[in-house]
Structure 1
């Protein structure tokens, strides 16, 4: 089970980094990469949101599996890290994502205000924190049992 969780978290980190480092710049600045696609900032945002909605479907169950594993292992440090991950993932999936989806559903104007910009920035920081704690979780998993 430990190897499966290690693999799942590693894969998630790879997917998250790929989404942020490769997909996002390509969607928001396609001309920079030789693509002859013209999207508005709003249209690019809609595409990225779809990607992060799908990511949320993957993130949440894996966060719960990691939390359950740490609970069964009775590893307090790993449990604390997995709890932080599950909490941040819940925040990302159930707070930030719905806010962004609702704003986008209201139209382009609803995404061009200070509140939306702040929430978007917070969601980015939330995802960065998720990745950071996933790395810590991987290190703890690699080190072996610690009670």
Structure 2
């Protein structure tokens, strides 16, 4: 009886710990602000999507992944700076630009059901320079893959 009780508590603790690590911190279910940046297209149509949550967590997902992979975490001050830059400098919520080409890049801002996206790739329609700069700065913050 005591063994069953202890085993039950161990299982419950494991479930709670696993949920605390993934749960609402996953980009699919996260309710607070998130920045989503990605690229794709070309012959294969493959895409890669990076996600930076307001809590500082970083994730990546490619076409062959069904779930996001956690890349780590960034400091709160740096996270705030990137969110402010996207919201105030880039003005993502009021900028309307959607000109994807065969190959495309995009920057999105999400919170709950709200989403604002700027996408580009058509060489005949250059994107707002502030988004290209933001895109490059964002990708520079992503951890490099280990080889």
- Flag whether TM exceeds 0.5 (same fold): no
Higher strand share: 2
Q: What TM-score results when the alignment is normalised by the length of structure 1?
A: 0.31
User: Which of these two proteins has the greater Rg computed from alpha carbons?
Assistant: 2
More helix by share: 1
TM-score by length of 2: 0.31
